[in-house]
């Protein structure tokens, strides 16, 4: 792998609640990007491992019903498809070949994806990632604190509206597509802050 090659896994999850150990992923969508170029997209819907912990309030947010999610594939069938996609672009046994994880408030999604691995009998979530996350949310928090961001809140749908982006909120595919655009805007803004090199005066 070239040292400069950057492999990013943008991903978003929709879940049956807020506790990653009790509740489960029902939609996992994402974008695989290498050196700024989209290489793959995925959008998996799956049943929860445990229906007894499903929170109706979460389904209301996701705009899903129990009847609907019972038509999804079992998580044990989705998991190997997801792994097959990951290994198309990263060698899990090469410590220098890993994904950056990326998402909006991505720590939430990382927790659920880690548990998704564990519940599928796989303890090697970390073998795919380098431990560095890309997330526009902390940047927006700082901008809000500094009074440089005029928005009522920092929810993804609010930030999408702020930047004039269409979004189908709480649909994982739509959410992550918008997140990638927001992350690009943040990276561009940060790049513009680099000090310009001073020109040497001619003798």
Q: Read off the pLDDT of residues 4-24 as tens digits, 9 standing for 90 and up.
A: 589 999 999 999 999 999 999
pLDDT band (50, 70, 90) for residue 72: very high
Express each pLDDT in 81-125 by its tens digit.
999 999 999 999 999 999 999 999 999 999 999 999 999 999 999
Give domain limits for the chain. Answer: 7-135
Q: d(Cα 11, Cα 15) in Å, to the nearest integer?
A: 13
The mean pLDDT of 66-84, rounded to a whole number, is 98
201 vs 25, higher pLDDT: 25
What average pLDDT does range 31-36 have in this prediction? 97
* % of the chain surpassing 70 pLDDT: 94
Position 203 confidence tier, pLDDT thresholds 50, 70, 90: low
* Arithmetic mean of pLDDT over the chain: 94
Q: Which of 128, 130, 137, 25 is nearest to 85 (CA)?
A: 128
Burial class (CB in 10 A: 0-12, 13-18, 19+), 56: exposed
83: enclosing H helix or E strand: helix 75-86
Give residue 192's pLDDT band: very low, low, confident or very high (50, 70, 90).
Answer: confident
Residue 186, by phi and psi: left (phi above 0), alpha (psi -120 to 50) or beta? alpha
Mean pLDDT value of segment 123-129: 97
Name the packing angle between helices 172-191 and 136-145 (round to 10°). 60
For the question of whether the overall pTM of this predicted structure is more than 0.85, the answer is yes
CA atoms within 13 A on the CB side of 46: 24
Range 7-135 classified under CATH 3.40.50.1100: no
44 confidence band (pLDDT: 50, 70, 90) = very high
Residue 175, CA atoms < 13 Å, CB-side half-sphere: 24
Beta carbons within 10 angstroms of residue 149's beta carbon? 15
**What does each C-alpha distance from 7 to 19, 33, 58, 101 come to in angstroms?**
29, 6, 32, 9
């Amino acid at each position: 792998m070239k040292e400069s090659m950057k492999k990013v896994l943008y991903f978003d999850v929709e879940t049956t609640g807020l506790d990653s150990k009790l509740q489960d992923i029902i939609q996992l969508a994402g974008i695989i990007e290498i050196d700024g170029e989209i290489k793959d997209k995925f959008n998996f819907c799956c049943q929860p491992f445990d229906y007894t912990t499903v929170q109706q309030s979460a389904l209301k947010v996701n705009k899903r019903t129990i009847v609907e999610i019972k038509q999804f594939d079992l998580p044990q069938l989705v998991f190997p498809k997801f792994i097959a996609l990951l290994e198309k672009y990263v060698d899990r046994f090469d410590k220098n070949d890993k994904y950056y994880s990326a998402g909006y408030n991505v720590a939430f999604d990382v927790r659920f994806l880690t548990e998704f691995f564990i519940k599928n009998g796989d303890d090697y979530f970390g073998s795919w990632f380098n431990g560095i996350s890309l997330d526009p949310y902390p940047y927006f928090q700082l901008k809000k604190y500094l009074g440089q961001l005029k928005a009522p809140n920092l929810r993804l749908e609010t930030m999408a509206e702020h930047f004039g982006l269409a979004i189908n909120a709480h649909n994982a595919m739509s959410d992550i597509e918008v997140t990638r655009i927001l992350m690009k805007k943040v990276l561009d803004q940060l790049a513009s802050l680099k000090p310009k090199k001073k020109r040497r005066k001619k003798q």
